[in-house]
Chains A and B, each alone.
Chain A
Amino acid sequence: MTAAAQAGIRPKITTSLVLNAARRLRVWRRRAPQREFIRSAGVRFGILHAAVFALSTLALALFLWWSTAGLLDRQTETAINADTQGLSERYGEGGMMALQETLDQRLAGNIDDDALYLLADPLYQKLSGNLERWPARVTMDTAWYDLAIERAGRRGMARVHHFELPGGFHLLVGRDVEVRSQMAHLLTDALLWSGVVALVLGSIGAMAVRSLFRITLADVSATARAISAGDLTRRVRVSGRRDEFDRLAETINDMLDRIARLMDGVRQVSNAIAHDLRTPIARARARLEDAATHATGEADLRAAIERAETDLDGVINIFQALLRIAEIEAGARRSAFARIDLGPLLSDLDELYAAVAEESGQTFLARIPASLPAYGDRDMIQQAVANLLDNALKFSPSGSQIRLEAYGDPRGGCSILVADQGPGIPAEDRVRATERFFRGESARNTPGSGLGLALVQAVAMLHGGTLRLDDNHPGLCATLTLTTLPPVPAAQVNTSSSLDQRPAASLGA
């Protein structure tokens, strides 16, 4: 029966152990605020502060101790030595009698009661002096001793020197150094108290710093929580004190502004994609469905399928343009940067597009320097300029003039200008003209995806430059500025200034 009972108890024990552990865990968790207090950065700063404070007090006390105690020790030794010198002179002059006499005189004149003398016979019996009896420890000649002495019922510390005199007599010359031990006490007390003060002040400092941190960071973390919960309009409060916390708050707010802008961009682009891609897909779908139900012959079907194919090609082109822009904006293409000459590059584009302009009755004027060194991605710049020229040709009426110009600036950057005499872009639309899928009122009836200028803008940004849209009275004047310079190797720093001059010089040529 007992065995069975034991067998029954054991699982109970195990269960209770587990329960206990769980309870302890709960208790431990409930103590979390305490651990949180220890973990608080403010408390850590406070503790560190108190520790540094205590350490510096300790160092000061130690320094004081070593310097004053050393000074006292040296003074004592000098006094004892001087005493001994005098006594030995007296002894040399008048022997034991004279010595004893001198001792008595000195004792009588010992106002401070700090000088100690003891003259003893060979059996260490006191002959004269102000010590009760010979200290048991002192037996060796010419040695210094630190002794605990008792005089007139008063305990104290003394430093003594022991001499053997001819005839087996012994002489002790010493000084009471009770002052020194009193000072040690004083310093120890001071140290103790300063430790207590450091602890109290440190704790108060820790609490103060902690609450300061809490108050300041509470707003930051509340903002961050609100942002992660989806409220992108929240910002960290700036106190206006222009301190570190304000700078942190401003940095965080700048970051949040940028995130908000990016989110807006994403939202706008996804809306635009949904709209601009849905339209041609819907058109293709309608054509195919219409053909499937209403086509009367193979020719009808083929025509419908071909038109749908064209629509889908448009969709593919939009996708490719979007991917290209994304690729450029990601900055991944900077690996293809090299020194290039914009002169021949633009002349080729001039040749390609001048024929098209001529065909549609437009005048094409190109003013391109023979050589215009730049640093960038050849393909990207070609495509960007081609996009600008495409737009110019597309929107310009017959008989108008299109200009393609390029010039370098003395700092090594260069600008490419494409101007047309088409309808232009109204001033209020110019900022938005480089957004993906933006199409101005005048562009509604022209084929295009609304991605051309967005790509040019992305290329400009990749090259550290800008795309500026101005009024050409009438028409649009687009200026693409590229400012990236080739990385200058350390050894070539001196030649870089001559390189900067090159674009200007070549323009003059």
Chain B
Amino acid sequence: MRILVVEDDKDVAGFVVKGLREAGHVVEHADNGRDGLFMAASENFDAIVLDRMLPGGVDGLRLLETLRAQNNNTPVLFLSAMAGVDDRVRGLKAGGDDYLTKPFAFAELLARVEGITRRGKGEGPATKLQTADLEMDLLSRSVKRAGQKIDLQPREFRLLEYLMRHAGQVVTRTMLLEGVWDYHFDPQTNVIDVHVSRLRQKVDKPFPLPLIHTVRNAGYMLRPEQP
């Protein structure tokens, strides 16, 4: 994917650019708002990682508003030290697709960037999801693996649905809390791990190959082959 990183802090920018390149993406970098806006408007990117506070007279919000006013719908992930709930709401209202507050773990950033690009591709309303031999029918709300029916609680169904929609990507615990439970805080206890492990009991345990993998220091990933 072609990703534009607009970030003025040299260390953060270097860290993000290097990480995204290592993950196999083509990355361009702008260190001020004006250059960022010029590049975002004149070239085609699959995603933009955008800092809120930028030098050069154009801050992140202005940049995004200008971009959206030109009918440019490139998915945008805000990356900001402004962590207040209202700041977050303002960023999303301006047209941001996701909002990540500094400091952050790179795995979280990568997962979210990949998340918004998938959303950005605008897949039609799928009625079926499939990963390897795991099938999910969204209309009848039923799950089958290797032709065998799996009974899931509603919440387990939504958890699996989220993992399947992000198959092949890392999903962090925070993403699961937000996406599946709509919670915007981090519990002190390992609630997510418990629920994922319960899902594993039903989806992975009766079968030879596990699909749900734990990614160390990051979260989980649903993928067909063994690592």
| Inter-chain pairs besides A383-B184, A448-B188, 9 sampled, C-beta below 8 Å | A312-B103, A317-B186, A327-B85, A336-B85, A351-B155, A352-B181, A356-B189, A382-B185, A386-B185
- A387 CB contacts on chain B under 8 angstroms: 188
Contact of B183 among A327, A335, A386 (CB under 8 A): A386
CB within 8 Å of B: which of A332-352? 332-333, 335-336, 348, 351-352
Contact of B86 with A394 in the complex, beta carbons under 8 Å: no
Interface check B194, CB cutoff 8 A? yes
Interface size class of B (residues with CB under 8 A): 20 to 34
Interface check A441, CB cutoff 8 A? no
- A348 CB contacts on chain B under 8 angstroms: 181
CA A348 to CA B185, docked complex, whole Å: 14
CB distance from A497 to the nearest CB of B (A): 33
Q: A interface, by DSSP: helix, strand, loop or mixed?
A: helix
Partner-A contacts on B (CB < 8 A) = 83-86, 103, 105, 155, 181, 183-191, 194-195, 197-198, 217
**In this complex, which of A356, A382, A391 has the most chain B Cβ atoms within 10 angstroms of its Cβ?**
A356
Contact of B194 with A355 in the complex, beta carbons under 8 Å: yes
- B195 CB contacts on chain A under 8 angstroms: 352, 355
Contact of A379 with B85 in the complex, beta carbons under 8 Å: yes
User: CB-nearest residue of chain A relative to B216?
Assistant: A306
- A306 CB contacts on chain B under 8 angstroms: 217
- B105 CB contacts on chain A under 8 angstroms: 313
Contact of B187 among A320, A336, A351, A390 (CB under 8 A): A390
- B181 CB contacts on chain A under 8 angstroms: 348, 352
- B189 CB contacts on chain A under 8 angstroms: 353, 356, 389-390, 393-394
Contact of A379 with B194 in the complex, beta carbons under 8 Å: no
CB distance from A391 to the nearest CB of B (A): 8
CA A312 to CA B190, docked complex, whole Å: 19
Interface check A148, CB cutoff 8 A? no
Contact of B217 among A309, A317, A333, A353 (CB under 8 A): A309
CA A456 to CA B183, docked complex, whole Å: 16
CA A335 to CA B90, docked complex, whole Å: 14
Contact of B83 with A390 in the complex, beta carbons under 8 Å: no
Contact of B185 with A353 in the complex, beta carbons under 8 Å: no
CB within 8 Å of B: which of A452-470? 452
Interface check A316, CB cutoff 8 A? yes
Contact of B83 with A382 in the complex, beta carbons under 8 Å: no
CA A351 to CA B105, docked complex, whole Å: 28
User: CB-nearest residue of chain B relative to A353?
Assistant: B191
Contact of B83 with A452 in the complex, beta carbons under 8 Å: no
CB distance from A245 to the nearest CB of B (A): 44
* Given A379-B185, A390-B187, CB of A355 within 8 Å of CB of B83: no
**In this complex, which of B103, B194, B197 has the most chain A Cβ atoms within 10 angstroms of its Cβ?**
B194
Contact of A356 with B191 in the complex, beta carbons under 8 Å: yes
CA A387 to CA B189, docked complex, whole Å: 9
Interface check A428, CB cutoff 8 A? no
User: CB-nearest residue of chain B relative to A390?
Assistant: B188
User: CB-nearest residue of chain B relative to A387?
Assistant: B188
Q: Name 14 interchain pairs, CB-CB below 8 A, sorted by A.
A: A312-B103, A313-B105, A316-B103, A351-B155, A352-B191, A352-B195, A353-B189, A355-B198, A359-B194, A382-B185, A386-B183, A389-B189, A390-B187, A390-B189
Contact of B85 with A333 in the complex, beta carbons under 8 Å: yes
- A222 CB contacts on chain B under 8 angstroms: none
**In this complex, which of B105, B183, B188, B195 has the most chain A Cβ atoms within 10 angstroms of its Cβ?**
B188
Interface check A21, CB cutoff 8 A? no
